[in-house]
Amino acid sequence: MIYAACYRMLGSRPAAEDAAQETFLRLWRNAAKWKPQGAKFETWLYRVAMNYCLDQLRKRKREAPEEAAPERADPADRQDQTVFAAERRFAIDEALAQLPERQKLAITLCHYQELSNIEAAEIMEISVEALESLLARGRRALKQSLAPMREHLMGKMEDGDVAQIN
Amino acid sequence: MATSHKSTDRLEALRRCADAYGADPARWPAASREDLRDLLDADAAADILADARFLDGFLNAATAPRMSADLENRIMANYQVPKPQAGLMDFLRGLAPGMRLLPAGALAGVGALGLASGVMSASAQEPLTPEYEALAYVNDLSVATLNEDGELEWDAE
């Protein structure tokens, strides 16, 4: 769960492994001192992990701006998928990698981790309204990035290569 | 006129929901899901939902790998058995030596039901200890077993 969220944010297995390991290391060090203070434990743990991921993304940008985009998914992972599914996955990986970090975080928490808007807002320490704004902007940006892919896929549908888009 | 405004407002609310949360009402806030349910089959909502569904399809296509056993082992290698809360370990041992600690969600569920209150610490909403709940998060497939010495043993299902 934490590992998957880190992977979504950082876009590579080694980076996600480091993030998960660091998150739990911090947890082991601080668990005895942890006080609920109204926050659910899950919220606290996600916050630690996601703040670490945001730090890493900012560090990447500072150190190598031209290489700031996360790695592409390993093509070997797609070998057993249909070409259509692989194309779609590749496209969304690329589009997610280009998203501003807080928009990506909002989508990661709500869509992929399936947290409620209230939980996601708590983790990000923002209001639900601000979260919804990030989600909407993020989804809008993704749609724009994917627009050429949509046309490409629609063309394939018309050619009968794929049965449906969704 | 008022009815028309209301209809437009509700359609706009549906658009906001779809823009933020996607086309699947199960992902919407409960209140919005309830308020907008009757709009879902309306012609006017079709384009809005289709547009959101297109992106949902892409988002769902992006998969994430599972945590490897090696990573889990590395994480657990850093774990030190916490000093037990006074009386807690005795209580757990008395309950059932070798008992399996429930995943965090299940623990929260037990707490919410007000059951096994003795297993919960001071607050009914507070799980055993952060450590115990955290361990369930290391890997969704992992569970801990409390051995006779009050230490956690790990296995994967």
Q: In terms of residues, how long is chain A?
A: 166
Q: What is the CATH number of the domain that holds A93?
A: 1.10.10.10
Residue pLDDT, tens place only, A27-51: 877 766 666 555 677 888 899 899 9
Q: Are A106 and A9 in contact (CB under 8 A)?
A: no
CA distance A96 to chain B (A): 9
What tokens appear for A30 in the block?
Answer: 């601080």
pTM assigned to the model: 0.70
Mean pLDDT, residues A76-87? 61
Mean pLDDT, residues A127-134? 97
- Alpha-carbon gap, residue A47 to A60, rounded angstroms: 20
Q: Is residue A166 part of a domain?
A: no
Q: Are A93 and A11 in contact (CB under 8 A)?
A: yes
What tokens appear for A43 in the block?
Answer: 């919220």
Q: Is residue A106 part of a domain?
A: yes
| Nearest residue in B to A33, CA atom | B130
Q: Which residues pair with B142 in a beta bridge?
A: B156
The pLDDT of residue A150: 75
Q: Is residue A65 part of a domain?
A: yes
DSSP secondary-structure letter at A111? I
CB B135: neighbour CB atoms within 10 A?
24
Q: What is the mean pLDDT of each run of 10 residues along chain B (157 residues)?
A: 68 94 95 90 90 92 86 79 51 44 37 27 40 48 45 47
The pLDDT of residue A32: 63
User: What's the domain count of chain A?
Assistant: 1
Q: Is residue A35 part of a domain?
A: yes
Q: Please judge whether B20 and A150 are an interchain contact, meaning their C-beta atoms are less than 8 angstroms apart.
A: no
Q: Please judge whether B64 and A24 are an interchain contact, meaning their C-beta atoms are less than 8 angstroms apart.
A: no
Using DSSP's 3-state secondary structure scheme, residue A87 falls into helix
Q: Is residue A8 part of a domain?
A: yes
What tokens appear for A25 in the block?
Answer: 């290391």
What residue spans define the domains of chain B? Answer: 2-61, 69-156
The pLDDT of residue A149: 77
Neighbour-count burial for B37-75, b at 16+ CB within 10 Å, e otherwise: eebeeeeebeebbebbebbbbbbbbbbbeebeeebbeeb
Q: Does the pLDDT of residue A82 top 60, yes or no?
A: yes
CA distance B97 to chain A (A): 24
Range of the domain at A28: 2-159
Mean pLDDT, residues A108-125? 95
- pLDDT averaged over every residue in chain A: 81
Q: Which of the residue ranges A23-27, A125-129, B64-68 has the most confident prediction, judged by mean pLDDT?
A: A125-129
